[in-house]
Amino acid sequence: MSKGGRLAISLGLFLVVVGLVVWAVAVYLTPGTPGGEMNFTNTQSAGQPVNLTVETVGAIGFGPHPSWVSYLTKDPHTGQWVQDNTWKLPANTVVNMTIEQFDSGSPLRNQQWGQVEGTTGGSASLNGTTYTAFDSYSGAGVGHTFAVPALGIVVPLPGVAGNNICGAGPCLTSKWPHNTITFSFKTPGPGNYNWQCFVPCGLGYLYGNGGGMSAQNYMGGFLDVVR
């Protein structure tokens, strides 16, 4: 083989190695995108309400960021708690939502987030008692909110009192103090609607808006509404 040919092969191999190193570094540096989509279109007969159960935990307890605050979704097919916080939902259908809230709370920076808005009847239920607003200066304050801005939905999720707070998800209602919040809403026509928490609950980050607050699938996700 000519000198030029060998040089070309060496250069080619060198470039392949450089490419692999760049790829490996890029993979290492790119934050994982945990969680996927949970399908709620096949859990009930057509036209029947969808039952959707989630929980909010102070620390997710697994994955690339175990200490981050997160929502978890109860898989309606297996009963497992997973970080699939984008929900595929049928259009124009009632969703009966249950949120098991395991985190502590604090007063809200914006009292508007203490109002219940956009749900069926403009109310929600806290451990069986109907409420239309929650004074975040009362009790243990508010831990998180569930909000779908495009649908005008905001539901404050009151915090758990005391020091006995579940430290790592999934948190079980049989083991840890929690608040159970229920409410209903109707999905609109097909589209992608983001949902999120408005409480700056990313503890340890600037203004509380980093960590789980700014990462998809921790304190937010999407309603993937389909026909």
Give the footprint of Cu ion on this chain (CB under 5 A). 144, 197, 199, 201, 219
Question: Cβ 157 to Cu ion, closest distance in Å?
Answer: 8
Q: Which residue is nearest to Cu ion (CB)?
A: 197
* 144 or 178: CB nearest Cu ion: 144
Cα–Cα distance for residue pair 61/67, rounded to 1 Å: 6
Q: Which two tokens stand for residue 205?
A: 């980050």
Task: Pick between residue 147 and residue 225 the one whose CB is nearest to Cu ion.
Answer: 147
- Nearer to Cu ion (CB atom), residue 66 or residue 190: 66
Cβ-based nearer residue to Cu ion, 93 or 178: 178
CB of 71 to Cu ion, least distance (A): 8
CA–CA gap between residue 82 and residue 67 (Å, rounded): 16
Return the closest-CA partner of residue 73 out of 88, 86, 58.
86
Exposure of 115 by Cβ count < 10 A (0-12 exposed, 13-18 middle, 19+ buried)?
A: middle
Tell me the closest approach of the beta carbon of residue 200 to Cu ion, in angstroms.
8
Answer whether 77's CB lies under 8 Å from 107's CB: no
Min CB(115)–Cu ion separation in Å: 17
- Of 93 and 108, the one with the shorter C-beta distance to Cu ion is 108
CB of 198 to Cu ion, least distance (A): 8
**Element spanning 124, H or E:** strand 124-126
Instruction: Name the phi and psi angles at 51, rounded to 5.
Output: -95, 120
